[in-house]
């Protein structure tokens, strides 16, 4: 199957998607899966809204603060890898935290080009009083899956992605919109 990949930030509309020959088979199963996806997405969205309402920071920023609590002195690129997002997105989210004095950036004494990140006392207080899990509902839920369940979920989701005619693979490195 030839997969078309949409250009970044383009408004590409998929062509008419043909139903597979077995579309009628297990239609109840497909609908049950759709319902479960809705529950997962909406639960994550509700958690993110709760975080923002309680703390005034978005879900991605709170996750960053948790990572900095667990490993002070990370570089921007290291933090981006921990969240699996673009370094540019990480920098933009960090700027908001720095403006509110929740984090501090300091030059690495060994490499003046590099910046090290740490929580301030204000940031730590916010993190300690924030709703849990600070890393977000989905990352935390994935931690509770055993290896076999994780592999099955990954394979199933890859199959779902493969079945979508137009996909922007760059979305994989962006936080979900409701967490920003």
Contact 60, 48 (CB under 8 A): no
Q: What is the percent of the chain where pLDDT is above 90? A: 60
Contact 126, 65 (CB under 8 A): yes
Q: 68-83: per-residue pLDDT in tens? A: 999 989 999 999 999 9
* pLDDT mean over 102-111: 91
pLDDT tier at 28 (50, 70, 90 boundaries)? confident
> What CATH number does domain 43-179 carry, 1.10.287.130, 1.10.15.40, 3.90.1150.10, 1.10.10.10?
1.10.10.10
Whether the pLDDT of residue 101 is over 90: the answer is yes
DSSP H or E run through 160? helix 147-163
Whether the pLDDT of residue 128 is over 50: the answer is yes
Cα–Cα distance, 44 to 146 (Å, whole number): 20
Beta strands 166-167 and 111-119 are: unpaired
């Amino acid at each position: 199957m030839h997969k078309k990949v949409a250009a970044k930030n383009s408004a590409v509309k998929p062509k008419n998607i043909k139903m597979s020959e077995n579309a009628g088979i297990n239609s109840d199963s497909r609908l049950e899966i759709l319902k479960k996806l809705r529950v997962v997405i909406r639960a994550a969205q509700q958690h993110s809204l709760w975080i923002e309402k309680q703390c005034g920071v978005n879900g991605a920023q709170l996750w960053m603060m948790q990572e900095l609590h667990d490993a002070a002195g990370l570089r921007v690129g290291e933090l981006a890898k921990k969240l699996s997002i673009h370094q540019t997105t990480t920098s933009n989210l960090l700027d908001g935290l720095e403006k509110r004095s929740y984090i501090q950036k300091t030059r690495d004494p060994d490499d003046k080009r590099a910046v090290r990140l740490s929580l301030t006392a204000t940031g730590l207080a916010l993190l300690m009083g924030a709703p849990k899990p600070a890393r977000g509902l989905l990352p935390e839920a994935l931690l509770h899956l055993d290896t076999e369940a994780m592999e099955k979920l990954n394979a199933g989701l890859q199959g779902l992605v493969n079945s979508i005619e137009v996909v922007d693979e760059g979305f994989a490195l962006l936080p979900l919109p409701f967490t920003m």
